[in-house]
Structure 1
Amino acid sequence: MLNICNVGKIYGKNVVAVDDVTLNLEGGVVGLVGHNGAGKTSLMQMIATLTRPTSGQILFNGQDIVANPDAIRRRLGYLPQDFGVYPNLSALEFVQYFAALKGVSDPKRPAQVLEMVNLHGQAARQASTFSGGMRRRLGIAQALLNDPDILIVDEPTAGLDPEERQRFRHLLSEIGFRKLVIVSTHIVSDIEGMASSLAIMRAGKLVSHGTLDSFIAKARGQVWSATVRAQDYEALSQNVKVLQARRHDAGVSLRIAHPSIPCSGAVEVEPTLEESLMAPVQELTA
Structure 2
Amino acid sequence: MIAANQLTKKFGKKEVLKEMNFFIEKGETVGVVGPNGAGKSTLLRIIATIMKANNGTIQISGLDAKKDMKKIRQKIGYVPQEIALYHELTARENLRFFAKLAKCRSEQGWMKRCEEWKLAEHLDKKVKHLSGGNQRKLNILVALLHDPDILILDEPTVGIDITAKQEIVNDLRQLGNEGKTILYSSHDAQELESLCTSFLILKDGELLFYGSKQKVRQFGSISQSKNFAETLGAIVN
The question of a shared fold, defined as TM-score above 0.5 by the shorter chain, is answered with yes
Moved more, 102-111 or 197-206: 102-111
Q: Are positions 1:25 and 2:24 aligned together? A: yes
Question: Aligned runs of 1:97-136 on 2, under 5 Å?
Answer: 97-136=97-136
Evaluate the alpha carbon distance shift between residue 9 and residue 116 of structure 1 in structure 2; reply closer, same or farther with a 3 A threshold.
farther
Q: For residues 114 and 17 of structure 1, do their structure 2 counterparts lie closer, same or farther at Cα, with a shift above 3 Å needed?
A: same
Cα 1:91–1:272 change in 2 (3 A) is same
Q: Deviations over 1:44-88 (max 9, x none)?
A: 000111111101111111110211101210111111001143233
Shift of 1:213: 1.4
8 Å Cα contact 1:133-1:160 kept in structure 2: yes
TM-score by length of 1: 0.76
- Give the structure 2 partner of residue 96 of structure 1: 96
Aligned twin of 1:148:
148
* Structure 1 pair 4–31 and aligned structure 2 pair: CA distance change class (3 A): same
Letter in 2 for 1:5: N
Paired with 2:215 and 2:106, the residues of 1 have a C-alpha distance of: 43
Please name the residue that 1:211 is paired with.
212
**SS at 1:67 equivalent:** coil
Does the aligned pair in 1 maintain the 2:153–2:183 contact within 8 Å?
Answer: yes
Unmatched 5+ stretches in structure 1: 224-268
**Cα distance, 1:221–1:196 mapped onto 2, change above 3 Å:** closer
* Equivalences, count: 233
Tell which structure's C-alpha radius of gyration is larger.
1
Contact 2:110–2:145 (8 Å) recurs in 1 = yes
Distance 1:219 1:7 in 2: 23
CA distance, structure 2, for counterparts of residue 273 and residue 219 of structure 1: 14
Structure 1 residue 197 and structure 2 residue 152: aligned?
no
CA distance in 2, matches of 1:123, 1:16: 44
Percent pairwise identity: 31
Return the offset for 1:112.
2.9
Structure 2 CA distance for aligned equivalents of residues 179 and 139 of structure 1: 17
Q: Aligned partner of 2:196: which letter?
A: A
Q: Is the 8 A contact 1:99 1:105 kept in 2?
A: yes
DSSP-derived class of the 1:146 partner: coil
**Residues 1:77 and 2:77 are matched in the alignment:** yes
Aligned partner letter, 1:58? I
- 1:116/1:21 Cα in 2 relative to 1: closer, same or farther (>3 Å)? farther
Q: Deviations over 1:85-137 (max 9, x none)?
A: 32332111111100011111224333233234321121122221111111110
CA-to-aligned-CA distance 1:219-252 (integer Å, 9 cap, x gap): 89944xxxxxxxxxxxxxxxxxxxxxxxxxxxxx
Runs of 5+ unmatched residues, structure 2: none
Tell me, yes or no, if the aligned pair for 1:92 and 1:111 is still in contact at 8 Å.
Answer: no
Q: Which has the higher contact order (CA 8 A, sep 6+)?
A: 2
Task: Give 3-state SS (helix, strand or coil) of 1:193's partner.
Answer: helix
Partners of 1:116 and 1:141 within 8 A in 2: no
Q: How does 1:57-68 map to 2 (within 5 A)?
A: 57-68=57-68
Aligned residue identity for 1:44: L
Match in the other structure for 1:243: none
Q: Distance in 1 between matches of 2:121 and 2:141?
A: 14
Say whether the 8 Å CA contact 2:188–2:233 is kept in structure 1. Answer: no
Matched residues in 2 for 1:218 and 1:30: separation? Answer: 16
Q: Residues 189 and 230 of structure 2 are in contact (CA less than 8 Å); yes or no, is this contact kept in structure 1?
A: no
Distance 1:158 1:278 in 2: 16
Distance change (3 Å), C-alpha of 1:200 and 1:125: same
Q: In the alignment, is residue 275 of structure 1 matched against residue 222 of structure 2?
A: no
Give, as a single letter, the amino acid of the residue that structure 1 aligns with 2:39: G
Question: Is structure 2 residue 92 aligned with structure 1 residue 137?
Answer: no
Residues 169-248 of structure 1 aligned to structure 2 (within 5 Å) = 169-177=169-177, 178-216=179-217, 222-223=223-224
1:263 corresponds in structure 2 to none
After TM superposition, the structure 1 stretch with the greater mean CA deviation from structure 2, 91-100 or 186-195, is 186-195
How far 1:216 sits from its partner (Å)? 2.7
